[in-house]
Structure 1
């Protein structure tokens, strides 16, 4: 007995779920619904597409066409959206062709779906052509938003903003600013796309201008718009404004909390990230999820707070999020940055599914702890497993080679990453190689590499060479590197200090004095470094010679005892990296009260 049209969707989808992906949908239709009913096919295609089963939705669309059924206006949008979800340009073009044959290509909903499909497949020119072909009288908010979103998704922010200006002009001409009008008017989805575009342009004041428009139109109470504003300001480097937007939002959802936590963590404000997380857990009903815990783990990794990291790992297990690739990768990164590489490898081995980021995080962890051979072994296993390395993977591989002094391996991967994996070396890769050559004392090779780079050397590359020149006492190359660095970062006094130390090592005291005078004239002062240590769940910070800690007297007393014991066994302090124009006793005292020793 055939089912009624109203019950066909749930019945067929339920039975599709029970069968393998090889099950013929036409056979199921023969059993459950009238296979010659195009409306039944439309319902199932729509239901599968909305449920995220894009492959099955396209199979249903194909099966329907094989039965020579004539599609309706409602057939195409969901079929085309399935092509978009799969980034299947070939199937999308076929659907477009059939929509044209049956005369539905001018339908505004079909056109909007096609615009979205071409945009997601990177064919912006085709998307814009379709948009321009939609008669102005039938363009709706979906058409405009599809094109706006397409530009944003393809990092073409300027075109998105220009299109939005057209949108506002048409809205004004049509009188669509009123919600009572039958014409098009801006909605919160379009605003979110515009704000995303604003965050991707470098022109000052663009995001602020869009924010003013949001307030004027009354969209500032929309949670989705607020979330996009938070992200837009953060992308522009205005984390403090992001926080103000966050604090001003009356209603906040999980995305809101996750955004501000992640923004703090990604900008090195780890303590602030953890404070917000604590506030979220204690004072709201919003439940944390995989994205939340991933951001929190990043903050913990920055602070190196192992105990808290283990607590979050336990929470991941309780929430049954161990199989989440994003969380698993964050756990690996956290353990590595907390110095627990073996725990990181254990977490890595327990992951059922790994992506390129998971492999890269573990390779980077081995590299940062001078376990280069293990890093390279894992890299070879990654390739053997069929996981294609990316740009960051090779940064991690070359960094591992640098920490272990593996010059030949470093040259090999720098020279082969381009033609074997189609990844052209970037400034980060060259920076690692310069560091590797510098550590090995091959300063001329390092300089020649910089001169032959296909990309412009940045402060990291020249800084690596300058640091190597100090270690290996090469004044000539040190001056060249310092000159470049003074041009790139004129207000960074660290480079002047390094050059001064190079001169001092060479006994060139007049040059030392000249460098120091230059710093004084430019009012350049070195920012004091600090060290962090976790004890019983609390993070303690120390500066050089710090006496602010409540237990500083006990700390100095214990440190003095250790120094006496070191001297008794013949330890001699290495003072080559300390300021040279002070006496020996003052140099030694500077090292004794270093922030890392206090911590």
Structure 2
């Protein structure tokens, strides 16, 4: 070794465990250069050995070459690129060498190379694949979820008479499980004559990861009944199944069994227990385990963070976040997504800004999807657009998740053209991308276009799902396409194999109710194969409000409150119909009942984004720094509206107000009017005013927005809880059908 420039004694002994494949080609097993390979600790030392082997001719001995390849491809300091270069220099690699390279690629970030190398081996190697080859290529097929390719390997296994080899069979179970073909995974498992613990682990994991936790737990019970002793891998999968099933009782039993039977605890197993406790809602159990864990990693800390965030205990979540030894992007994502999913979009975006300001880890797909969802909730199109630019600058590929999120963000922020631009910019569109675009068109009142996109989706051979039909029925509802809505609803199961769910029935009741077909809507509810939920009765109640049917409204409200006694929306809708028909005593009675029951109406809140900042307004709000200017603008607006003959629609007041001037004052203080006034004084005349309201916009505000768009020559986008209204030159995109 002196000739290599490094004394043998200076290289620390770092023995490498060779591949389990067998190499019978042993011409120079005791050559001194070969012994040095096991002592190498970096790729440069291996290159020196490689050079020495070339000089002495040792490299052209198949056994010697295979030993070098093994170190290049599978050691802790491996370099697959260099291993491939070495491999390509070997005149006739033996089967052991081929298997080594196939194995290395199967565990790499590019497993398709494993399969391509296997195909090359079939063409160039004189030996046939053996029992060591197939587990590696099956692993590669699993990583790629290449179902057809893996099935081809299964056929080759049978033809090679290797179908009883336990290692290959276990690999097949894992492969079918990874591809989601659980039936075939189980069939392979059942045919094994002598199952080992890996066989059981493979099939339990397949069902646990395949969203069939009940089956996974039944298999575990069968494993116990057959006296097969589970190991830590078994328990990780069983705990995962308990977490998915939210079965805390069985999860606790599994944890106690781990303790009783001496299953070796390690960090992975402890993290699995921690995850089970959190997902089953027992943060107390998680806390006790976390405190006694001898070793914790970033996963442990992030799981605890997730536990507190799920409960909405953000003070504790923030405490854990601050105490973490290192905050990777997963931890940031937990905070952002939990805030967003809890209806706290401002807090979610504050964390996103904090991530950028602190120069923490780079945002990943999950970060951006959650942040875009928060932007969509707030109508924060400037930040949403910045995220879109960031995606482009970082060279991130627009996969279906990001595409769907961008379409949803632009649509909910009022820019349908940008949503279409994103949709048209991608080649791969799954059912969720198509459904998001249909939803975008639906919420903007473009019902006919939504149906056209549905036809294009079918032409593209994309099968619609339940979400698609919810969006299609919403499109029909908003555009008054009653006949089309009926057709789609009754074709769902018969033509497309999608069984109508509660959301579809609620949409259909809304379609019929909005169009005045109240009797047909009631008949549909009475014939429903599933029990009507508050959303169904709410749709009918809303329709009654539109058409002034007091008797049916009272019936619908009664059913709704039977199911959800504290539903403040039911009281508000019934109040609306009483107010609309002048039944002020009934309005007062309802309000008294709400007070006595401690039920509070959700306050109307409107938000508007100006220069990247989101401003929120409540009804009668005077907390804004520009409040004086806003109210001055409101007075100006009122004067100009009266000058063209505008008369406030006082039926939209939810309480009895005797003085006429007070009625007008109450109406002018609605949150969306405050937001529009703020938009008029803070944005350029060429910019559209984009307002997001948390409730349905009232009829008076709708009328005012139409007139303001004409008086001030401004385009106004107003999104309420259900849809978008585009106001331009005194007209609304909804054509007053809402």
Fold match by TM threshold 0.5: yes
Partner of 2:426: 351
Partner of 1:323: 398
CA RMSD of aligned residues (A): 3.3
Partner of 2:662: 586
2:99–2:133 Cα contact (<8 Å) kept:
yes
Distance 1:571 1:190, change over 3 A: same
Partner of 2:334: 259
Which of 170, 173, 198 pairs up with 1:77? 170
Deviation readout 1:291-341 (Å, 9 max, x if unpaired): 211111111111111111111100011122243111111100000001011
Partner of 2:257: 169
Partner of 1:379: 454
Partner of 1:181: none
Partner of 2:237: 146
Question: C-alpha separation between the residues in 2 aligned to 1:355 and 1:147?
Answer: 32
Deviation readout 1:176-209 (Å, 9 max, x if unpaired): 2xxxxxxx134444444445544565xxx63422
Larger Rg: 2
Distance 1:463 1:26, change over 3 A: closer
Deviation, structure 1 residue 357: 0.9
Question: C-alpha separation between the residues in 2 aligned to 1:24 and 1:49?
Answer: 16
Which of 96, 103, 117 pairs up with 2:206? 117
Question: C-alpha separation between the residues in 2 aligned to 1:311 and 1:127?
Answer: 49
2:80 corresponds to 1:3: no
Q: Mind listing any 5+ residue stretches in structure 2 that lack a counterpart?
A: 1-90, 676-738
Deviation, structure 1 residue 368: 0.7
Question: C-alpha separation between the residues in 1 aligned to 2:491 and 2:233?
Answer: 47
1:124–1:151 Cα contact (<8 Å) kept:
no
Which of 452, 467, 470 pairs up with 1:392? 467
Question: C-alpha separation between the residues in 1 aligned to 2:315 and 2:467?
Answer: 29
Question: C-alpha separation between the residues in 2 aligned to 1:14 and 1:490?
Answer: 62
Which of 432, 443, 452 pairs up with 2:507? 432
Distance 1:447 1:26, change over 3 A: closer
Deviation readout 1:551-586 (Å, 9 max, x if unpaired): 122222222222222222222222221135213221
2:554–2:574 Cα contact (<8 Å) kept:
yes
Deviation, structure 1 residue 110: 2.9
Give SS of 2:607's match.
strand
Deviation readout 1:511-539 (Å, 9 max, x if unpaired): 34433332333344434211111111111
1:13–1:48 Cα contact (<8 Å) kept:
no
2:121 corresponds to 1:28: yes
Question: C-alpha separation between the residues in 2 aligned to 1:129 and 1:555?
Answer: 68
Deviation, structure 1 residue 484: 2.5
Distance 1:412 1:568, change over 3 A: same
Partner of 2:357: 282
Give SS of 1:531's match.
strand
Partner of 2:366: 291
Deviation readout 1:452-511 (Å, 9 max, x if unpaired): 322232332222322322332221112112222333343344433433343344444443
Question: C-alpha separation between the residues in 2 aligned to 1:199 and 1:424?
Answer: 33
Question: C-alpha separation between the residues in 2 aligned to 1:216 and 1:18?
Answer: 39
2:127 corresponds to 1:127: no
Question: C-alpha separation between the residues in 1 aligned to 2:564 and 2:162?
Answer: 68
Question: C-alpha separation between the residues in 2 aligned to 1:549 and 1:288?
Answer: 33
1:148–1:164 Cα contact (<8 Å) kept:
no
Which of 564, 567, 570 pairs up with 2:645? 570
Give SS of 1:576's match.
helix
Question: C-alpha separation between the residues in 2 aligned to 1:517 and 1:474?
Answer: 23
Mapping for residues 426-575 of structure 1, pairs under 5 Å? 426-575=501-650
Deviation readout 1:202-246 (Å, 9 max, x if unpaired): xxx634223322323346x33223333444555556566544543
Report the number of matched residues: 578
Question: C-alpha separation between the residues in 2 aligned to 1:494 and 1:47?
Answer: 54
Question: C-alpha separation between the residues in 1 aligned to 2:312 and 2:111?
Answer: 50
Question: C-alpha separation between the residues in 2 aligned to 1:434 and 1:414?
Answer: 11
Question: C-alpha separation between the residues in 1 aligned to 2:494 and 2:314?
Answer: 40
Q: Mind listing any 5+ residue stretches in structure 1 that lack a counterpart?
A: 177-183
Question: C-alpha separation between the residues in 2 aligned to 1:240 and 1:377?
Answer: 48
Which of 151, 156, 161 pairs up with 2:245? 156
Q: Name whichever of 61-70 and 312-321 sits farther off.
A: 61-70
2:118–2:137 Cα contact (<8 Å) kept:
no
Question: C-alpha separation between the residues in 1 aligned to 2:572 and 2:182?
Answer: 56
Partner of 2:285: 209
1:503–1:512 Cα contact (<8 Å) kept:
yes
1:12–1:32 Cα contact (<8 Å) kept:
no
1:131–1:143 Cα contact (<8 Å) kept:
no
Question: C-alpha separation between the residues in 2 aligned to 1:212 and 1:15?
Answer: 42
Which of 395, 407, 421 pairs up with 2:496? 421
TM-score, normalised to structure 2, is: 0.71
2:407–2:419 Cα contact (<8 Å) kept:
yes
Deviation, structure 1 residue 82: 1.5
Question: C-alpha separation between the residues in 2 aligned to 1:527 and 1:323?
Answer: 38
1:463–1:481 Cα contact (<8 Å) kept:
yes
Deviation, structure 1 residue 273: 1.0
Give SS of 1:563's match.
helix
Distance 1:525 1:223, change over 3 A: same
Deviation, structure 1 residue 114: 2.9
Deviation, structure 1 residue 403: 0.9
Deviation readout 1:54-79 (Å, 9 max, x if unpaired): 76555445434423358755434333
Give SS of 1:548's match.
coil
1:161–1:198 Cα contact (<8 Å) kept:
no
Deviation readout 1:6-28 (Å, 9 max, x if unpaired): 64246457999999999794662
Q: Name whichever of 384-393 and 83-92 sits farther off.
A: 83-92
1:479–1:499 Cα contact (<8 Å) kept:
yes
Give SS of 1:321's match.
coil
Question: C-alpha separation between the residues in 1 aligned to 2:594 and 2:189?
Answer: 66
Question: C-alpha separation between the residues in 2 aligned to 1:413 and 1:43?
Answer: 48
Give SS of 2:531's match.
coil
Question: C-alpha separation between the residues in 1 aligned to 2:304 and 2:498?
Answer: 34
